[in-house]
Chains A and B, each alone.
Chain A
Amino acid sequence: MDRFLDTFFNAEVLARYAPSILDGALVTVVLSVLIVLSGIGLGTLLACLRAYRIRPISFLIVIYADILRALPPLVVILVAYFGLPNVGVVLSASVVLYLVLTLVLAAFAEEIVWAGITSTPQGQWEAARSTGLGFTQALVWVVLPQAVRMVIPPLTNRAIAITKMTALGLVIGVPDILGNASTAQSFSANASPLTLAAIAYVILFLPFVIGSRWLEARFARPGA
């Protein structure tokens, strides 16, 4: 029992590395928020572009979404981080992580929002167009708000899944929660920093998960 406590809850180690993991938490939070905002934003934009049904553009969007959904994000992260400098693009590990996860989330968000757009009844378009709204206006004011409400559950689930992948930043040295905890673990030869990391993740992501429940309930209500 003592061995267990010493390994996972060593008070001295916990106290020593708590500040560094707190710093890491800040990095994780900032990355997560940026990834969610830009990933969902970009994905929604692509889904809207696809609504115009201009063949070459739709084709490119589908290719993009399918490839990024097929590739393991870790592969993309490694390729980008170790490959880009060879073509003269040097980006920090954090920026690479941000860009890759944003593009991955955008690929999923595009497919999810697109499904919402196509399942909005045709009558909504017709009502909007019959009152003189143009295609873009009908999309923005009538169809998209309904489409987004409809897909909030899968969208939030996917956003949470992708933001948790910020932990993959470990492999390229992003100083986020796991990165800092892992460094601390090798210095101290003790697993307590990792325990702290797990606690930090729960504290950070539990509100997201609870928030997504709230969002789902809020928009599941008819007429809301």
Chain B
Amino acid sequence: MARSPETTPTLEVRALHKAFGSEPVLRGIDLSVARSEMVFVLGPSGSGKSTMLRCCNRLEEPTSGEIFIEGDRLTGPGVNLNAMRQRVGMVFQSFNLYPHLTAMGNVTLALRRVQKKSRAEAEAIAAEALDKVGLSDRARHHPGQLSGGQQQRVAIARALALKPTVMLFDEPTSALDPELVGDVLAVMRDVKAAGMTMLVVSHEMGFAREAADRVIFMDGGRIVEQGPPDQVLGAPTHDRTRAFLRRFHA
């Protein structure tokens, strides 16, 4: 079956179910993200946003359903998971930088150990990625010597350096002091401008309105509503979406 890059979604999720024990958390998610699209995911706590994101690089193993990256299957047996994961960058709420390595060491680790690049080559790529997030001057600092905002930008550089097809962000600014949020959002804006496909779980409504191509509202493990940001955030059609948004405007 021939697929043209124009019509094949960059990320496609089909009938995704996930249960922890007997407790269903995702109850049939269908989602397709086009190339260079930024999709925002909203929803109350426990609605399954993180679980859905984590299934998209199989940090969480789906109970059933299929996930494709540019038409290549990510789920099921016989998948070269480590190779596929390089195509799906992940940015965590708590940064998860390696504390024993410098910013440079954090970014080069997978380049060297997985992509088997030479030290010089890996450092050149990492320097470029750190420059993109505005931290060229912090390359030799350890995470403990960086602010939360800087740490999160190093984490973005770490994912970016692998030149992923799609990037997943799980509440990237929730752990930050308010005055540091702007720097991280600015970097995400740049990443989007460079054409990255992004799936973002976040409660930054202002950023969603300005930067997102589409907003998805999840509740109870399902996608309840989706559409352009103005529509979902400005004129939601579902009661649950309205109730959720009211809490933010209150």
Query: Chain A interface (Cβ within 8 Å of chain B)?
Result: 121, 123-124, 126-134, 137, 141-142, 145-146, 149, 222-224
Contact = CB atoms under 8 A, between A and B. Distances in A.
A142 B162 contact: no
Contacts of A130: 57, 59, 85, 88-90, 159
Given A123-B96, A131-B110, A223-B144, 19 more contacts: A121-B96, A124-B96, A124-B98, A126-B59, A126-B90, A130-B85, A131-B86, A131-B109, A131-B159, A132-B82, A132-B86, A132-B110, A132-B162, A133-B114, A141-B109, A142-B109, A146-B98, A146-B99, A146-B100
B82 A224 contact: no
A149 B113 CA distance: 21
A137 B92 contact: no
A137 B113 CA distance: 8
B172 to A, nearest CB: 13
Nearest to A140: B113
B79 interface: no
Contacts, number: 70
Contacts of A127: 90, 92, 96-98, 155, 158
B94 A123 contact: yes
Nearest to A134: B82
What is the interface residue range for chain B against chain A?
Answer: 20 to 34
A223 B144 CA distance: 5
B243 interface: no
B109 A223 contact: no
Give the residue among B94, B96, B97, B159 with the most A Cβ atoms within 10 A. B96
Interface in B87-117: 88-90, 92, 94, 96-100, 109-110, 113-114
B110 A133 contact: yes
Contacts of B85: 129-132
Contacts of B59: 126, 129-130
Contacts of B155: 127
A145 to B, nearest CB: 5
A223 B142 contact: yes
Contacts of A134: 82
Contacts of B229: none
A224 B162 contact: no
Contacts of B86: 131-132
Nearest to A126: B59
With a 10 A CB-CB cut-off, give which of A127, A145, A146, A224 has the most chain B CB atoms: A127
26 contacts: A124-B98, A126-B59, A126-B96, A127-B96, A127-B97, A127-B98, A128-B98, A128-B109, A130-B57, A130-B89, A131-B85, A131-B86, A131-B158, A132-B83, A132-B86, A132-B110, A132-B114, A133-B109, A134-B82, A137-B114, A141-B113, A146-B99, A223-B99, A223-B142, A223-B144, A223-B145
